[in-house]
């Protein structure tokens, strides 16, 4: 009788692990379907030499989803402390190094910082304020010259005086592991962080409709209202402990396909390995390598045959 119980438990465990493995294989990177194609939120500034290669066009063709045009685009940026934040902000600034077009394609930006990291909050705020200022100047100069388009334009139908540069917020999560925290209590704090990340990911940002936000034109009432997607379309990380937990949380949500978490355009992840990692991947990097959709490295030494790493050159000057 005891034998039978043991065998049954073993069988159950084996089936369970096979099922989990199969599910992971199904949702993780090489087999995950490509994103559904959608129009640029700011088509004036669409300039994409990289993604218009024939290969990518082929992959995107036939998947165009017109419903996605009625959704805001939502980018989640995980900031770490010190160096990680500095690199991430440099990367974001480089997105619009030429003309400000990089960040305007993401209509909501949410920055995640760890508890007590005031510096990162301030950097994100400074970045957004500078961007808003650049949009104001761009819109004003275009209006006086009568040139449409640009980084952001003001809605003509409303009294809204602010150009459409989107919205942003900062969210704080508990630290995964405090510096000098003992290893015994680390799992507990990681779990706390994971729960916070799960909650954060599944709570969409407030629909920006208040005064000064993206108000619909008064004449266009018949058009469907723009919606904020439930999950971030894209998570951008570069390796602090919080980022690891955040990607794990996204994987958990996609594993169970909780409220459409596994849709093609939800919770896609990009990991950018730190500039400081020249020859060996970091610990977060090694953990996240199989979990993220794209894994970018800044040094050629990290591109080995058969590995998923992609070389982008130094992008955090």
Partner 1 sequence: MASTSHVRPATIPNQRRCFVTIGATASFRSLISVCLQPSFVQALDKHGFTELRIQYGKGGQELFDDLSKGLNQAALGTWVEISGFDINVNGLTSELRAVKASQDVSEGLVISHAGSGTILDAMRLDVPLIVVPNPELLDNHQIELAEVFSDQGYLVYGELRNLPKALDDSKLLRRKQKEQINVNTGRPVVPVEPRSIMEYEMGFSLE
* CB distance 284 to 240 below 8 Å: yes
* CB distance 44 to 104 below 8 Å: no
* CB distance 37 to 59 below 8 Å: no
Distance CA 264, CA 246 (A): 18
Site string for partner 1, 93-112 (x = CB under 8 A): -xx-xx---x--xx------
Output the CA–CA distances (angstroms, integers) from residue 96 to 48, 116, 197, in the order listed.
Answer: 13, 29, 28
Site string for partner 1, 215-254 (x = CB under 8 A): ------------------xx-x------------------
Tokens of residue 149, six digits: 């388009």
Regarding 10 and contact with partner 1 (CB under 8 A), the answer is: no
| Least gap, CB of 39 to partner 1 (angstroms) | 7
Regarding 182 and contact with partner 1 (CB under 8 A), the answer is: no
| DSSP β-bridge partners for residue 272 | 296
Distance CA 204, CA 71 (A): 12
Nearer to partner 1 by Cβ, of 85 and 114: the residue is 85
Which residue in the set 21, 26, 48, 161 belongs to the binding site for partner 1 (CB under 8 A)? 48
Tokens 């992971």 belong to residue? 24
Tokens of residue 200, six digits: 């954060």
Nearer to partner 1 by Cβ, of 252 and 264: the residue is 264
Nearer to partner 1 by Cβ, of 99 and 160: the residue is 99
- Binding residues (CB under 8 A) for partner 1: these are 34-40, 43, 46, 48-52, 56-57, 60-61, 63-65, 68, 73, 91, 94-95, 97-98, 102, 105-106, 233-234, 236, 264-265, 268, 270, 272, 293-294, 296, 300-301, 303-305, 310-313, 315, 317
């Amino acid at each position: 009788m005891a034998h039978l119980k043991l065998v049954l438990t073993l069988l159950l465990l084996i089936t369970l692990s096979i099922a989990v493995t199969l599910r992971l294989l199904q949702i993780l990177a090489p087999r995950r379907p490509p994103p559904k194609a959608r129009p640029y939120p700011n088509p004036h500034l669409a300039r994409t030499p990289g993604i218009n290669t024939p290969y990518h066009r082929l992959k995107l063709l036939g998947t165009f989803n017109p419903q996605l045009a009625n959704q805001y685009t939502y980018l989640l940026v995980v900031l770490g402390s010190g160096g990680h934040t500095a690199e991430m902000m440099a990367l974001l600034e480089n997105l619009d190094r030429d003309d400000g077009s990089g960040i305007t394609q993401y209509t909501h930006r949410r920055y995640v910082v760890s508890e007590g990291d005031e510096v990162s909050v301030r950097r994100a705020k400074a970045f957004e304020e500078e961007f808003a200022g650049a949009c104001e100047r761009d819109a004003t100069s275009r209006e006086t010259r009568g040139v449409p388009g640009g980084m952001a334009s003001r809605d003509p139908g409303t009294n809204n005086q602010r150009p459409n540069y989107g919205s942003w917020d900062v969210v704080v999560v508990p630290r995964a592991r405090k510096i000098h925290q003992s290893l015994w209590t680390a799992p507990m704090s990681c779990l706390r962080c994971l729960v916070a990340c799960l909650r954060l990911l599944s709570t969409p940002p407030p629909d920006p409709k208040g005064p000064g936000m993206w108000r619909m034109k008064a004449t266009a009432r018949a058009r469907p209202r723009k919606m904020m997607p439930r999950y971030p379309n894209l998570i951008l990380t570069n390796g602090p402990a919080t980022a690891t937990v955040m990607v794990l949380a996204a994987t958990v949500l996609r594993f169970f396909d909780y409220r459409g978490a596994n849709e093609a355009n939800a919770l896609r992840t990009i990991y950018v390995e730190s500039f400081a990692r020249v020859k060996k991947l970091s610990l977060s990097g090694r953990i996240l390598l199989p979990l993220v959709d794209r894994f970018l490295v800044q040094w050629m030494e990290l591109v080995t045959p058969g590995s998923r790493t992609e070389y982008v050159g130094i992008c955090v000057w």
